[in-house]
């Protein structure tokens, strides 16, 4: 839930005409104000000033990465650009999303998606009643969302995720798939052998952290193309989640974290998600961990679907992970394991994956004490 501050334009001003509003639509705008400090509170001050009144211009809500300001009650505003009697102005709730450069735009969009979902439920409206400013006037607005590939579809998907909370997928808890099941799924998707071999380490860290390993393994499949990589990140960087460095300057290899070993890269992946859900990291975390910890939403993420707008600006990122990767892993039939051969003393011999993990742990201990 996001805090909504009511800070209304005074009655009687030109940009508060006072006509009763029976909402039939919700209209999405971008503020087009990239100045530092141009957050929701700053726009509330603007709407109560003489410049906004003289135009006149007004809308109902401004959303930034931390808070929502409400400027009008159930009265119409002048925001849609379709005239004094236009449907956009007279029958829609106007929402502006902040673009201030010192804010987190992805978080602001996520907050706006939450607000839209609440308003749809409050007024009994369907998702198709959410419109772009462009729909009413032809203006290129909301320009940030419109400027992204599938930006509008992604925003609507984020709204839908709040309307259907039952489909949310927990990031934490006991795994619902076995490691052999995950490896079978990887094989069916022509995964590189390195991706198949690293699976037991994901389940090891899942046990240590309480994060669901099949979720992170599915995310790695998406980020690395099942270990085949391609693009800026290279296999020798051991970066299973395409985690960036603390202060990236672009999208080159040097803008992505490099881990010492493949196993250390898995630990980095789990630590990164730990910052999202509020868990303590395992060992010393990578520098980008602290960047995530400084975000206003750090420690509050509980569901895979909530990664959208946080892990990436794509608001439907988490839903895509579930739909295109995790669901396939969970539906893969587990390959029956052959009985383990017996040692000379009659005990069962551990599988080779356990031996690999054992030797890796020994190597790590040796590094710590040398």
Task: Give the Cα separation of 173 and 209 in Å (integer).
Answer: 9
Residue 59's pLDDT is: 98
Euclidean distance between CA atoms 6 and 68, whole angstroms: 9
pLDDT of residue 339: 42
- pLDDT tens, N- to C-terminus, the chain (370 residues): 689 999 999 999 999 999 999 999 999 999 999 999 999 999 999 999 999 999 999 999 999 999 999 999 999 999 999 999 999 999 999 999 999 999 999 889 999 999 999 999 999 999 999 999 999 999 999 999 999 988 999 899 889 888 876 668 999 999 999 999 999 999 999 999 999 999 999 999 999 999 999 999 999 999 999 999 998 999 999 999 999 999 999 899 999 999 999 999 999 999 999 999 999 999 999 999 999 999 888 999 999 988 988 898 777 789 889 989 999 999 987 655 444 333 344 433 344 445 455 555 655 555 555 5
* pLDDT score at 160: 87
Q: Which residue, 309, 312, 293, 290, is CA-closest to 63?
A: 309
Q: How far is CA 268 from CA 237, 259, 263, in A?
A: 12, 8, 9
Task: Name all domains of the chain by residue range, CATH numbers in brackets.
Answer: 4-163 (3.40.80.10), 179-331 (1.10.530)
* 326 within 8 A of 214, measured Cβ to Cβ: yes
């Amino acid at each position: 839930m996001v805090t909504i501050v009511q800070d209304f334009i005074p009655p009687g001003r030109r940009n508060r005409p006072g006509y009763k509003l029976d909402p039939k639509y919700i209209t999405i705008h971008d503020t087009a104000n990239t100045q530092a400090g141009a957050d929701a509170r700053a726009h509330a001050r603007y709407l109560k000033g003489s410049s906004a009144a003289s135009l006149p211009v007004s809308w109902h809500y401004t959303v930034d990465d931390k808070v929502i300001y409400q400027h009008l009650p159930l009265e119409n505003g002048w925001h849609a650009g379709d005239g004094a009697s236009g449907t956009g102005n007279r029958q829609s709730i106007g929402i502006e999303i902040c673009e201030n450069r010192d804010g987190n735009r992805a978080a602001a969009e996520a907050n706006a998606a939450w607000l839209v979902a609440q308003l749809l439920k409050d007024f009994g409206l369907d998702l198709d009643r959410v419109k772009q400013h462009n729909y009413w006037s032809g203006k290129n607005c909301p320009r940030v969302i419109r400027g992204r590939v599938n930006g509008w579809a992604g925003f609507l998907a984020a709204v839908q995720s709040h309307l259907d909370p039952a489909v949310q997928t927990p990031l934490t808890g006991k795994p619902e798939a076995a490691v052999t099941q995950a490896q079978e799924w990887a094989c069916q998707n022509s995964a590189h052998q390195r991706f198949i071999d690293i699976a037991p380490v994901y389940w090891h860290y899942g046990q240590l952290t309480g994060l669901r390993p099949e979720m992170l393994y599915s995310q790695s499949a998406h980020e690395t193309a099942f270990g085949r990589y391609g693009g800026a990140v290279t296999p020798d960087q051991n970066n299973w989640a395409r985690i960036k460095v603390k202060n990236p300057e672009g999208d080159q290899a040097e803008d992505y974290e490099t881990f010492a070993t493949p196993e250390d890269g898995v630990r980095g992946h789990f630590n990164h998600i730990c910052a999202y859900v509020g868990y303590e990291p395992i060992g010393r975390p990578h520098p980008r961990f602290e960047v995530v910890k400084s975000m206003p939403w750090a420690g509050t993420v509980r569901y895979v679907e909530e990664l959208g707008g946080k892990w990436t600006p794509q608001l439907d990122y988490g839903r895509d992970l579930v739909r295109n990767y995790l669901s396939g892993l969970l539906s893969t039939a587990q390959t029956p394991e052959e009985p383990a051969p017996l040692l000379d003393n009659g005990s069962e011999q551990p599988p080779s994956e356990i031996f690999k993990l054992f030797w890796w742990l020994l190597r790590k201990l040796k590094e710590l004490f040398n």
